[in-house]
Structure 1
Amino acid sequence: MVEIDLTPPAAAAKAAEQGLKLRKEHKRGGTRVGVARAHQLMKREPLSADVVKRMASYFARHAVDKNGKDFDNAADPSAGFIAWQLWGGDAGRDWADKKKAELTKKG
């Protein structure tokens, strides 16, 4: 049986790092869970299937945040954007969705 590689991609790690920097700079965005997730992503060590599924769920719930005014305003990013980055940004979303589908197919 083929194992599914659950190592986060470099682009997700980079987005998580950006999220931590923005959170520190703007003093907003994300929760303790989001900060912990950012640190996990930055290590680029394989995540558990459960964490990958939680990531996919997070992005599905928070996709609406991207419609907000000034979501990714470089000078003054929204708290939603900062949180999104903590979870790996668009790269993290795409990866988590892909891996969730692979995990679901595998059973």
Structure 2
Amino acid sequence: MGTMMTDTFKPTAKMAANAKKGLKLREEFHRGGTDVGKHRAEQLAAQEELTVEDVKSMHSYFARHEVDKKGKSHEWGSDSDPSAGYVAWLLWGGDEGKEWADRHAAQLD
């Protein structure tokens, strides 16, 4: 395992804020995200330490869902009519979550 610092996988405040926003929009609009995404958002919102598996799962989530930004139903980035994809994206930490997961996943390979 080497001498990896234990706080390597702590979500950032911005990721936590995105996750909280995602949870709020999900509750308000009843769309976006699975139970897995909701659980991930709760972890991020609490800024809980994530495992290597969590990081890898976030990395693959974002790789699969980048295409959701092009979705036509509802609006990406909207607080008044958010697309399900946008809500789910926020649940996983938003753009900051993607950058964070990509960076950490690259270190793991």
Category of TM-score, reference length = shorter chain? over 0.9
- What's the CA shift for 1:28? 0.9
Please point out which of 66, 70, 79 is paired with 1:63. Answer: 66
Is the 2:23–2:38 contact (alpha carbons within 8 Å) kept by the matching residues of 1?
yes
What are structure 2's unaligned runs of at least 5 residues?
Answer: none
Q: How big is each residue's C-alpha offset from its partner over 1:13-58, in whole Å with a ceiling of 9 and x where there is no partner?
A: 1000000000011011111000000001111121000110000000
Match of 1:11 in 2: 14
In structure 1, list runs of 5 or more residues that go unmatched: none
Number of the residue aligned with 1:90 = 95
RCO (CA 8 Å, sep 6+): is it higher in 1 or 2?
1
Alignment match, 1:23: 26
* Alignment match of 2:84 (pick from 44, 66, 79): 79
How many residue pairs match? The answer is 104
Aligned AA (1:94): E
For the pair 1:51 / 2:54, whether they are aligned, the reply is yes
Does residue 7 of structure 2 align to residue 2 of structure 1?
no
Distance in 2, matches of 1:64 and 1:79, equals 13
Q: Percent identity?
A: 52
State the 4+ residue runs in structure 1 displaced beyond 6 angstroms.
none
Q: Name the aligned partner's letter for residue 16 of structure 2.
A: A
In 1, Cα distance between the equivalents of 2:39 and 2:62? 16
